[in-house]
């Protein structure tokens, strides 16, 4: 008998999941609330689409594995190909990173362009994936302990039931999965919440004729000096700059022109302000506010229905400043693929529980990276750092301090930040000794990196 999977939500996590499911199910149906545009355009269901979205190296690699030829699409739309270290000017709390060839390459583009290219590949190369758009999923349908489909309502039409052998929730950070489970008589998954109260303000600019020698600029906050403001400026397709200001602990960047520029002037370095002050704006200033990080523990549910799983932001929504969400969704898609390869799609009993356990394990590093930083801010609410977290924070500070002086350490950090290596790589004895040697050799190391410096030249 033909098998069907349903994916709720057609954004990054939904598209990547559908691509994997297409290998195992006869039909995959994505049910999406929005109309999906025919080009790289903004839509309401993804309000973050106007803001800077870093595609980490690990995420890009997985996407290219799932969609061979995607790199050609990046070239087609003119998404710049960048090398971390050469094309990036990156100020951490320890100062500007050295600029050298780390060997880590990525393309950068707007979020709307990336989603459009992935959707186009899915539509062109996977005919068993179909879209039901302009339709909101209202609830899960179940028989006994098994989800058998969903109930959805088209914007213009009657509520309908669609049956499926597997239902995947990819409806994002505002997912109604907890309510849907409760209605079916299950417990609501417990949550770990770390609220750092983040604000974004983003403006698009035309790139100047004589751009700087970097193509991506990152200015991080500096928790040790209680500077809670940062910024990112990305070159994206179409010769445009995406310039985002960020603040944590409710230090929200303003969305009026004067306020935006004034906030930019208060950053740790004038480089961002100097870049945008005479650049030609192409858009208004868009704002976005988020409470912080939220992890739903589906894996801890004592009882959970068969044949219903959740992915992407519906499971774990991060503080976006670390650029991890899309890459984590890609990691989960690969995990799903390897688990389905060992399962029988016609009999998935026990699959949901195992999948949620594996997802919890897979996102652990990304969660620790994001929340470990957020917990340093004085106004962050939620889980408090334990002794182990405090040690990691202390050690990370030491690593950040010596990175401007050491390419090996910088390369390792860049891999971890790109989710291409586990943070434990930085705890290996040889690595820790290297950090320690620098610390002993260079007393007062952070004073060398005065915040006002311009990015170092390429070495």
Ligand X SMILES: Cc1cc2nc3c(=O)[nH]c(=O)nc-3n(C[C@H](O)[C@H](O)[C@H](O)COP(=O)(O)OP(=O)(O)OC[C@H]3O[C@@H](n4cnc5c(N)ncnc54)[C@H](O)[C@@H]3O)c2cc1C
Using the contact rule CB under 6 A, the part of the chain among 32-40, 187-195, 204-212, 276-284 near ligand X is 32-40
Residue count at the site for ligand X (CB under 6 A)? 37
Interaction of residue 53 with ligand X, rule CB under 6 A: yes
Interaction of residue 340 with ligand X, rule CB under 6 A: no
Select the residue interacting with ligand X from 107, 108, 171, 365 (CB under 6 A).
Answer: 171
Query: Minimal distance in Å, beta carbon 394 to ligand X?
Result: 27
Nearer to ligand X, 154 or 385 (CB): 154
Interaction of residue 220 with ligand X, rule CB under 6 A: no
Distance, CA of 343 to CA of 334 (rounded, Å) = 14
Query: Minimal distance in Å, beta carbon 137 to ligand X?
Result: 4
Can you read off the two tokens belonging to residue 354?
A: 């195992």
Interaction of residue 147 with ligand X, rule CB under 6 A: no
Query: Minimal distance in Å, beta carbon 239 to ligand X?
Result: 20
Nearer to ligand X, 40 or 312 (CB): 312
Is 149 in contact with 161 (CB distance < 8 Å)?
A: yes
Interaction of residue 230 with ligand X, rule CB under 6 A: no
Interaction of residue 327 with ligand X, rule CB under 6 A: yes
Neighbour tally for 420: CB within 10 Å: 17
Nearest to 271 by CA among 195, 312, 217, 327: 217
In degrees, rounded to 5, the angle at the alpha carbon of residue 397 between the alpha carbons of residues 396 and 398 is 90
Can you read off the two tokens belonging to residue 96?
A: 């500007």
Query: Minimal distance in Å, beta carbon 25 to ligand X?
Result: 19
With tokens 């996407």, the residue in question is 63
Interaction of residue 95 with ligand X, rule CB under 6 A: no
Using the contact rule CB under 6 A, the part of the chain among 324-332, 351-359, 402-410, 419-427 near ligand X is 324-332
Distance, CA of 242 to CA of 53 (rounded, Å) = 9
What 371-378 contacts at long range (C-beta under 8 Å, 24+ apart), as own/partner pairs, is 371/194, 371/293, 371/319, 372/396, 373/223, 373/319, 373/322, 374/194, 374/196, 374/248, 374/292, 374/293, 374/319, 375/194, 376/223, 377/196, 377/221, 377/223, 377/228, 377/248, 377/249, 378/226, 378/249
Interaction of residue 380 with ligand X, rule CB under 6 A: no
Which residues contact ligand X (rule: CB under 6 A)? Answer: 8-14, 31-34, 45-46, 48, 51-54, 136-137, 170-173, 200, 288, 290, 312-314, 320, 323-327, 329
């Amino acid at each position: 008998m033909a098998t069907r999977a349903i994916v709720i939500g057609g954004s990054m996590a939904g598209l990547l999941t559908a691509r994997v499911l297409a290998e195992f199910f006869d039909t995959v149906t994505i049910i999406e609330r929005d109309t999906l545009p025919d080009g790289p355009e903004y839509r309401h269901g993804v309000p973050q689409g106007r803001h800077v979205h870093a595609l980490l190296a690990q995420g890009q690699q997985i996407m290219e594995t799932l969609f061979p030829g995607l790199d050609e699409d990046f070239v087609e739309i003119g998404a710049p190909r960048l090398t971390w270290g050469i094309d990036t000017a990156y100020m951490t709390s320890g100062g500007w990173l050295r600029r050298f060839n780390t060997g880590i390459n990525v393309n950068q583009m707007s979020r709307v362009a990336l989603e459009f290219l992935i959707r186009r590949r899915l539509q062109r190369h996977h005919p068993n994936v179909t879209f039901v758009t302009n339709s909101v999923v209202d609830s899960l349908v179940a028989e006994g302990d098994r989800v058998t489909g969903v109930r959805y309502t088209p914007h213009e039409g009657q509520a309908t039931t669609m049956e499926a052998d597997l239902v995947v929730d990819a409806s994002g950070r505002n997912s109604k999965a907890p309510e849907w489970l409760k209605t079916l008589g299950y417990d609501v998954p417990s949550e770990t919440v770390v609220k750092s109260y983040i604000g974004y303000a983003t403006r698009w600019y035309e790139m100047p004729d004589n751009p700087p020698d970097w193509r991506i600029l990152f200015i991080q906050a500096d928790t040790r000096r209680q500077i809670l403001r940062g910024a990112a400026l990305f070159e994206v397709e179409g010769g445009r700059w995406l310039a985002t200001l960020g603040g944590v602990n409710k230090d929200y960047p303003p969305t009026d022109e004067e306020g935006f520029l004034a906030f930019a002037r208060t950053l740790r370095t004038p480089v961002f302000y100097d870049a945008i002050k005479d650049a030609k704006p192409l858009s208004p200033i868009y704002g976005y506010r988020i409470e912080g990080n939220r992890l739903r523990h589906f894996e801890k549910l004592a009882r959970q229905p068969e044949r219903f799983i959740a992915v992407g932001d519906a499971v774990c929504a991060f503080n976006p400043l670390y650029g991890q969400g899309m890459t984590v969704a890609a990691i989960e898609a690969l995990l799903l693929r390897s688990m389905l390869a060992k399962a029988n799609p016609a009999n998935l009993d026990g699959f949901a529980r195992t999948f949620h356990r594996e997802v919890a394990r897979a996102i652990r590093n990304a969660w620790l990276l994001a929340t470990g930083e957020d917990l340093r801010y004085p106004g962050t609410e939620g889980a408090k750092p334990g002794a182990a977290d405090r040690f990691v924070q202390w050690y990370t500070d030491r690593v950040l301090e010596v990175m401007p002086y050491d390419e090996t350490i910088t390369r390792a950090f860049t891999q971890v930040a790109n989710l291409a290596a586990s943070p434990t790589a930085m705890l290996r004895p040889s690595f820790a000794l290297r950090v320690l040697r620098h610390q002993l050799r260079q007393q007062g190391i952070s004073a060398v990196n005065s915040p006002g410096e311009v990015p170092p030249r390429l070495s």
